[in-house]
Structure 1
Amino acid sequence: MTLTALQAGAYLHHLAFHSAAPAELAKFYSNVMDMDCRQVSEVEWRCEGPLRRMIVLPGESRKMAYAGLACRTAEGVALIRARAEAEGLEILESPSPYFEDGFAVRDPDGHLICFGKAIAESGEHKGIHGPTQHLTFASLDVERFVDFYHGKLGFALSDRVLHDNGTLATAFTTSNHEHHTIACFKSDRTGVDHHSYEAGEWSTIRDWCDHFATQDVQLMWGPGRHGPGNNLFIFIEDPDKNWIEVSAELEVIYDRDTIDWPQHPRTLNKWGHAIMRS
């Protein structure tokens, strides 16, 4: 199977979420996730930090509007688009304000995924290190997730977590050198499980925790270490109950086969308490 998205080197560039209280949510990302925030229209707020971006739009809370995956070249965007067309996927217009040469597709659970070449930014943003890193969905059907992202778009399948009966509990897919770009947990609902920012190293997770303390935001989970990806993690949640992960030391994959893991608390957290999804 040709790993088209991996060849294109796509990476998670930004996310857009709906909220019933968009101004409040935008203020949270500005203060707690250390981003500059501006209202660009009556219905759109943009929060921007060093290599991280969050768009907030009015709508149903805890619902993603779209995800933006950037390719380093226009040729990479064209490569993924040609693969999507060959697989018979409907090519949609990208709503992303950060991309040129962009297009979008919908996955089987209805999530709008945009691909494009990032428009060069003017100026630099200050703040704690934490680029947008990965997105993890909750779904009733992880097998269908794998068929779409791995089978139709050409993401690499990094790891799988299997129930005792062999069915998929979790799947991790990547479109670059990191362990996962988009993952999926089997759940009793459909939507976003969490989105993650890369701290880089353990001491920066400490800095994030100290910053959260100044904002009176407590950790909801962690610190811990995942099995798949081997990354250190902490979790908080925003006012809409979206889960936010800050991660460090995520595995860099050079060349290896897909690894299967058992559905077990120690797979999710080697160190202790695990929040099991299924």
Structure 2
Amino acid sequence: MTITHLRHVDLAVPDFATQRRFYTETWGLSETGVDSGLSYLAAEGSPERYVIRLRQADEKRLDLIAFGAADPAAVDALAARLATADVRLVAEPGPLQTAGGGYGFRFFDVDGRTVEVSADVEVRAHRRVAEGEAVPVRLSHVVLNSTDIARTRAFYETHLGFRHSDTLWQSHMGDLMYFLRCNDWHHSLAIAAGPHASVHHVSFEMRGLDEYMRGTGRVMRAGIKKIWGPGRHLAGNNTFSYFLDPSGNTMEYTTELERLDHDVWHPHVYDVDDPMTQDQWGTADPMSELIAKESFNDVDRGAFVAPPV
């Protein structure tokens, strides 16, 4: 596969101080650096220098999604292939100026999101998360809303080498979500049908079921709006608890995401009208239009506009 893993998701927010408090005091991330209106937030169990970057801005937007590549040669090869395929590059491959450095480049995906691919980024000193410690271990996956999910899926499969894991489907609406993988995790990226391009949700892996539930309870006790959960999905077999951050982005705690054997795995089509598809446990409220709309998010103002940093 061209892409090795998901590195980080970068968000521009008008309520910078409030968001910093939410992610450090409530969500359980560690701030590893602050620089001119930028906050770099790491997961304790992850070697990535940061998994969320906040940027102070007048307007909310997705700044970029960052993926890893094996080495600088893979970065150069991908950039050359994208340029040949008329994918619009934001910057040619070169040294990165953000925390952790490395070698990479940026481009726009088919929906106008800025995507970064990098290699040789410095790793951070991380640790094994202790039993009972309800903080994120790593960034699990990101789900994106798209008005044409087949086109967006094709872009990531064709140009970045993602593989299709599973599909959510409904008899009257057709395909609703595609789960895509870049390694043996069931999905690092998913594409959801929505009214506009935006972030659907960003997901964080917890140590285990106990830590997942403890974290869910802590966020609930802090008065953060819970959208859906706790429960366990069928596709990916992972748990879910979804909350709205102060800017209205949906954030998820999850654990036990399935790992796949590429040689034997065949994608499934799961009917969302089957209650077991959405929640095998039956502990979450049934999926409804009201719940679904919470993760449509605002129209992303960053389409085909590269972030300033």
Give the TM-score range, shorter chain.
0.7 to 0.9
Alignment map for 1:191-230 (pairs within 5 Å) = 191-212=198-219, 215-217=222-224, 219-230=226-237
- Output the CA distance in 1 between the equivalents of 2:124 and 2:156: 32
1:21/1:170 CA distance change after superposition, 3 Å: same
2:26 aligned with 1:32, yes or no? yes
Q: Is the 8 A contact 1:8 1:79 kept in 2?
A: no
| Residue in structure 2 matched with residue 188 of structure 1 by the alignment | 195
| Secondary structure of 1:92 counterpart | strand
| Residue in structure 1 matched with residue 69 of structure 2 by the alignment | 71
Structure 2, unpaired ranges of 5+:
294-309
| Residue in structure 1 matched with residue 270 of structure 2 by the alignment | 261
Q: Is the 8 A contact 2:220 2:226 kept in 1?
A: no
| Secondary structure of 2:90 counterpart | coil
1:242/1:265 CA distance change after superposition, 3 Å: farther
C-alpha deviations, 1:21-43, integer Å up to 9, x for none? 11211221111122232663332
TM-fit CA distance, 1:218: 5.5
| Secondary structure of 2:171 counterpart | coil
C-alpha deviations, 1:197-228, integer Å up to 9, x for none? 01142122023134325644463321111121
Of 269, 274, 277, 2:287 maps to: 274
Q: Is the 8 A contact 2:238 2:257 kept in 1?
A: yes
- Output the CA distance in 1 between the equivalents of 2:138 and 2:288: 24
Alignment map for 1:1-278 (pairs within 5 Å) = 7-37=1-31, 40-50=34-44, 51=46, 53-59=51-57, 62-93=60-91, 96-124=98-126, 128-164=135-171, 167-212=174-219, 215-217=222-224, 219-255=226-262, 256-264=265-273, 266=275, 267-272=277-282, 273-276=286-289, 277=292
| Secondary structure of 1:264 counterpart | coil
Q: Is the 8 A contact 1:201 1:248 kept in 2?
A: yes
C-alpha deviations, 1:66-112, integer Å up to 9, x for none? 11112343344345434434433223326753451211221122111
Amino acid at match of 1:257: H
Identity in percent: 20
Q: Is the 8 A contact 2:146 2:198 kept in 1?
A: yes
Structure 1, unpaired ranges of 5+:
1-6
TM-score, normalization by structure 2: 0.78
Question: What count of residue pairs does the alignment treat as equivalent?
Answer: 272
Cα-Cα RMSD = 2.6
C-alpha deviations, 1:158-209, integer Å up to 9, x for none? 1112332673211111111111111111112320010000114212202313
Q: Is the 8 A contact 2:100 2:121 kept in 1?
A: yes
Q: Is the 8 A contact 1:69 1:114 kept in 2?
A: yes
C-alpha deviations, 1:89-144, integer Å up to 9, x for none? 22332675345121122112211111112522354478724201100011111111
| Segment drifting more, 177-186 vs 164-173 | 164-173
Q: Is the 8 A contact 2:104 2:117 kept in 1?
A: yes
1:200/1:34 CA distance change after superposition, 3 Å: closer
TM-score, normalization by structure 1: 0.86
- Output the CA distance in 2 between the equivalents of 1:135 and 1:38: 21
| Segment drifting more, 55-64 vs 93-102 | 93-102
| Residue in structure 2 matched with residue 4 of structure 1 by the alignment | none
Q: Is the 8 A contact 1:134 1:197 kept in 2?
A: yes
